[in-house]
Structure 1
């Protein structure tokens, strides 16, 4: 019972912080997009990176240890991050790992996920990630190829050196997904894995080549996540308080000069990385650690500040929703706006990108005259 109460409190605070940030910060920021897409993207990235401290603060407060080892992530690099997808809630712990991996920089890294398209419809989180430029894909390669190239061209035009994280496995490790992976391995005469799924290489290869062709790739970071005790497979596990005591991450930085440039070699490179990852995880579950050199959690002041600010903002949002008809109208308007955007378009980020190119043409014309 105690675990369930703690799980409900944790998830309520987590979800409440996103909803309050959406209504109180992100939506009021939208008019800036019309005036200057460049400033809008800078402000949006900064504000979202500030929110990323909150999940790290919650995990620290609830006594969940995040152990990170390997290479630090340079927050101002343009990079592709690849990670195994052990459970549906891996991303919940990733924010805390990124906080430790990117120290001492606070609020500087610009991490964006590649996600399944239906996630954009989730009220609050889906809308917020649309505003913050996350990439939503459909599993239709012709469509997804265009989305990826448009997003990267936009970031290059803004000179926004960004980290894009993809889960090459495409889904989390479950009984059903493992069966499909084993079937694929059997058909292609490849080894069957116990701790990972065979990666899908098409999207990774295309994304990396786009970075390389634009001379925009500084590195690829290979992240490996593992749970030494209990494994929360879904959001329901978090709500019912089935938290792991520890979550471990190991990070390896591969400089761009060591990354292949051809499609076939990139695909083979990723498959070899996954074979190494499988072996690394096998050793992890024998020792219950990646390394004896896990970094200690430092700089707790930013986490305490984030815990106070976002918890306060969540409380204020709840009060305003209860006592203010005008705020309820504001919330309803923005909710309906993003329901419409999610259903009728490819997402807010596509609107942002389309407006940027028109804005730049208008701005250049005005400047020349």
Structure 2
């Protein structure tokens, strides 16, 4: 199959935006991390959020992707854990279309594979954004998760943490493994979702709840009624989803089970509901979660405001990328700066493991200093 010009344009626009954005927009504020991690987090979350609007703008304005959102919606600014079925490898990016309307992109953090942090541009920005990188081995991930969640609770910055309890996207291979897991544990086989692994979910909810940093759990079901772009390769080939449907269920923290065992059962119940909901979705005509296609809770932004944000994003990032190329062409000092920052981003990840780890180390340092002053 031939590579699509549309697909290459999309991938290159996102890469160049993340690469130059990391160097030009995020690079100058890195020293703030050493002085005040909390203020650094406040500022960089907002800078990164400007880039998160770019894929939304491209998908909807340039490639005509239709987004339908039904269900409960979000309360703007609330702290939550977002759990979602993992239909494709790209669900996390498509979710930004929903969050732009119903929440604030600056609040979102994602649990994702540790290997992604090494990607130039994308990985650098995700490190600065303090995304949660995991090895997908619980004995290694537990301590890291605990440290990051403690940090988020300490700085009191509102957080919406996205995780995929299934652990991977739905394919023939992963479905076979899920079916084997179901057979071993006397669970029913599922067609539209994978059986969730709830250890990480229960740990995160318990930790945030104890840290008084959780208002709700948002259970989101995503579906693609017309075509399913399973991987990044499909985007390169120009196979963008024609429609993306999100169904949101909001569960206040006061209604969640108190024990880990009950929380695991609660998570499995949500996945059984997803299986039924998706079966109805794909068997119905027209395909949709609610036939009227209307969310019970209105978005926190009007479609006019969302449209203006998307248009402004396209204009800004087009101009910004053009400016950076002009700078590389015209100014030797700019070329030197880009080279130096590229080395900084690359070397720190090799030596320290990532900017999010340096940020937490700075926070621990200042926290200990404050405690020492109190003792004196």
Partner residue of 1:132 out of 121, 129, 134: 129
Residues 19-60 of structure 1: CA distance to partner in whole angstroms, max 9, x if unpaired? 121111111110111222121110011112222222221112
Structure 2 distance, partners of 1:183, 1:243, is 32
Mapped contact 2:224–2:245 kept (Cα < 8 A): yes
Aligned partner of 1:64 in structure 2 is 65
Evaluate the alpha carbon distance shift between residue 214 and residue 92 of structure 1 in structure 2; reply closer, same or farther with a 3 A threshold: closer
Aligned partner of 1:92 in structure 2 is 93
Aligned partner of 1:284 in structure 2 is 281
Shift of 1:368: 9.2
Mapped contact 1:7–1:239 kept (Cα < 8 A): yes
Mapped contact 1:3–1:242 kept (Cα < 8 A): no
With 330-339 and 65-74 compared, the bigger mean Cα shift is at 330-339
Mapped contact 1:68–1:100 kept (Cα < 8 A): no
SS at match of 2:4: helix
Shift of 1:363: 5.5
Structure 1 residue ranges without an equivalent (≥5): none
Partner residue of 2:245 out of 226, 243, 248: 248
TM-score normalised over the length of structure 1: 0.93
Structure 2 residue ranges without an equivalent (≥5): 296-301
Structure 2 distance, partners of 1:213, 1:91, is 27
Query: Runs in 1 of length 4+ with deviation above 6 angstroms?
Result: 366-369
Structure 1 distance, partners of 2:66, 2:150, is 38
Whether 1:271 aligns to 2:278 is: no
SS at match of 1:257: helix
SS at match of 1:66: strand
Structure 2 distance, partners of 1:175, 1:345, is 38
Aligned partner of 1:312 in structure 2 is 319
Aligned partner of 2:143 in structure 1 is 146
Structure 1 distance, partners of 2:169, 2:209, is 28
Mapped contact 2:182–2:195 kept (Cα < 8 A): yes
Whether 1:53 aligns to 2:50 is: no
Structure 2 distance, partners of 1:328, 1:231, is 41
Aligned partner of 2:187 in structure 1 is 190
Residues 308-331 of structure 1: CA distance to partner in whole angstroms, max 9, x if unpaired? 112211121222233433323322
SS at match of 1:69: strand
Aligned partner of 2:9 in structure 1 is 9
Aligned length: 365
Structure 2 distance, partners of 1:339, 1:147, is 21
Partner residue of 2:257 out of 257, 260, 267: 260
Residues 283-339 of structure 1: CA distance to partner in whole angstroms, max 9, x if unpaired? 111221112233684421121111111221112122223343332332222222222
Structure 2 distance, partners of 1:172, 1:298, is 33
Mapped contact 1:68–1:249 kept (Cα < 8 A): yes
Aligned partner of 1:341 in structure 2 is 348
Q: How does 1:112-127 map to 2 (within 5 A)?
A: 112-127=109-124
TM-score normalised over the length of structure 2: 0.92
